[in-house]
Structure 1
Amino acid sequence: MMTNLFSSFDPSTPMLSLNWLSLMIIMIIIPSWFWLIPSRLNLMWIKLTIYLHKEFKILTNSKGGTIMFISLFLTIMINNFMGLFPYIFTSTSHMSITLSLALPLWMTFMIFGWTNNTKHMFAHLVPQGTPMILMPFMVCIETISNIIRPGTLAIRLSANMIAGHLLLTLLGNAGNIMTTYSINILIITQMILLILEMAVSIIQSYVFAILSTLYSSEVN
C-alpha cells in the first residue's frame, strides 16, 4: 500500500531494492532474433535511427557525431516507455538519472568549448548589437542561463514523467468510490491519458536529444 502519493516514485523498497533494474530490463525483453535476422521490429528501428541521423546531422553539422545523440534519444525513450508498464519503476522520473544524463553532457561541451574555442565562447556571452552600457548585465544573464542548462534539461524530463504518472495514479485511486457508469468513463479517460503519456515519452526524449545537439553546436 502506498504511504503517500509520491511513494510510487520511491526508488527504495522495504525488503529488496531492485527498482533500478528497470534501467536494464529492456535487454531482457528484446529477443535475440532482433539482432540476428531482418524483421519488422528491426526495420522500424533502422528507419528510426536513419530519420534521427538526418535530423541531428543538420544541427551538429557533422555526419559522425550523431551516434551519441541517437543513443541518448533511444535510451530515454525506452526508459520512458518501460515506466508505463505496471509495477515497473520509472527511472527517468528521478533527478538522479536525468541529471546523470544532462550534467556530464553539459560539462563535456563546456570543457571542449572553453578549451578549443575560447574566443567563440566569450563572443556568446555578449549578443551582437548589445549597447556598451548593457554588456556587463548581458554577460551575467548569459552566464546564468548557461549554468542552469543541465538543471532545466533534467527537471523538464523528470517533471513531465512525474506529472502524467501522478494523474493516472490519482484517477486510478478514485475508482473505489465510483459507480459502474463512472468507472466506464474513468477507464476511457485513463486509456486516453495512457496514449498521451506514450506521446509524451517520445516527445520528451526528442526534446532532450535536440536541446543537447543545440548546446553542442554552440561550442563549435
Structure 2
Amino acid sequence: MMVNLFSVFDPSTSLYNLSLNWMSTIMGLMIIPSTYWFIPSRHFMLWNKIIINLHGEFKTLIGFKNINKGSTLIFISLFSIIMFNNFMGLFPYIFTSTSHLIMTLSLALPLWFSFMIFGWINNTHYMFAHLVPQGTPPILMPFMVCIETISNLIRPGTLAVRLAANMIAGHLLLTLLGNTGSVISSSLLMILIMTQIALLILESAVAIIQSYVFAVLSTLYSSEVN
C-alpha cells in the first residue's frame, strides 16, 4: 500500500542495502536488441532514419554558418537518453528518473552553463547586444536588460521543470485511475481499462514529444550564443 500518492515516483528497489533506483537510467540500453549492434536490421534502419532527420533539423536550427562537425550529435544523444528514460518509466515498478528534478536539472544546467560561458568569452559584444532587442526605445532599455537577464537565468529551470512536470502529471493520472480499479463495479472496469490504455498511448506520445522539445530548446539556446 502506498504511503502517499507521490511514492509511485520513488519505489524502493535495493540489493544488499544498495539502492538500485537510478539504475533505470541506463536500462534503456537493455531493451535494444543485440542485432542492433552487429548487423543492419530493421531496428538499426529505423533508428538511423530518426538520427538523420534529427541531424538535419538540428543543423537548420543551429545555422549552417555556426555549425561545427559533430555538434548536432550532442543534442541527438540528449534526445535519445531522455526518450529512453521516459519510456522506461511507463513500465510497472521501474523508477522514473526523468520525473525527478535532480535528473532534469543535471541535464539542463550544464548545457546552459556551457552555452553562457562560450557566449560571454567568444561573443561578448553579441551577448551584450542580445540583452536589448532591436528597436527598443531608450527609456525601456534598462527594463529590457532586466527582463532578458531574468529570462536567460531561468532557462535551465524551465527546461527541467517542464520535463519533470509532464512526466509527473501523466503518471499521477494513471496512478489515480489505477487505484480505483479495486473499488468500482465490474461493468465500469472495462471502461477503466480502455481509459488506461488510451492514457498509456498518450503518455507514449508525451515521452517522445517532451524529449524532442527538450532537445530542440537546447539547440535554440546554443544557436543564440553564436
Shorter chain as denominator, the TM-score bin is over 0.9
Partner of 1:23: 25
Matched, 1:91 2:109: no
From 149, 168, 172, the counterpart of 1:162: 168
From 122, 142, 157, the counterpart of 2:128: 122
AA at the equivalent of 1:28: M
Q: For the residues of structure 2 that align with 1:201 and 1:191, how far apart are their CA atoms?
A: 15
AA at the equivalent of 2:94: I
**1:34-53 alignment, distance < 5 Å:** 34-53=36-55
- Structure-2-length-normalised TM-score: 0.94
Residues 22 and 82 in structure 1, CA contact (< 8 A), matched pair in contact too: yes
Cα shift at 1:25: 1.2
Residues 11 and 93 in structure 2, CA contact (< 8 A), matched pair in contact too: no
- 1:170-202 deviation line (CA, Å, top 9, x unaligned): 000011111111110000000000000000000
Matched, 1:100 2:114: no
AA at the equivalent of 2:5: L
- 1:6-63 deviation line (CA, Å, top 9, x unaligned): 0111265585421110011122232322110111111101000001001101011226
Matched, 1:133 2:139: yes
SS of 1:139 mapped into structure 2: helix
Q: What root-mean-square deviation, in Å, do the aligned CA atoms of Structure 1 and Structure 2 show?
A: 1.2
Partner of 2:157: 151
Residues 11 and 19 in structure 1, CA contact (< 8 A), matched pair in contact too: yes
Residues 22 and 95 in structure 2, CA contact (< 8 A), matched pair in contact too: yes
- In structure 1, runs of 5+ residues without a counterpart are none
Partner of 2:9: 9
- Structure-1-length-normalised TM-score: 0.97
From 53, 57, 65, the counterpart of 1:55: 57
Q: For the residues of structure 2 that align with 1:73 and 1:101, how far apart are their CA atoms?
A: 11
- 1:70-89 deviation line (CA, Å, top 9, x unaligned): 00001100100000011111
Partner of 2:224: 218
Q: For the residues of structure 1 that align with 2:177 and 2:11, how far apart are their CA atoms?
A: 22
Q: For the residues of structure 2 that align with 1:201 and 1:28, how far apart are their CA atoms?
A: 18
The more displaced of 14-23 and 161-170 is 14-23
From 78, 81, 84, the counterpart of 1:75: 81
The more displaced of 117-126 and 2-11 is 2-11
Percent of residue pairs bearing the same amino acid type: 71
Q: For the residues of structure 2 that align with 1:190 and 1:217, how far apart are their CA atoms?
A: 40
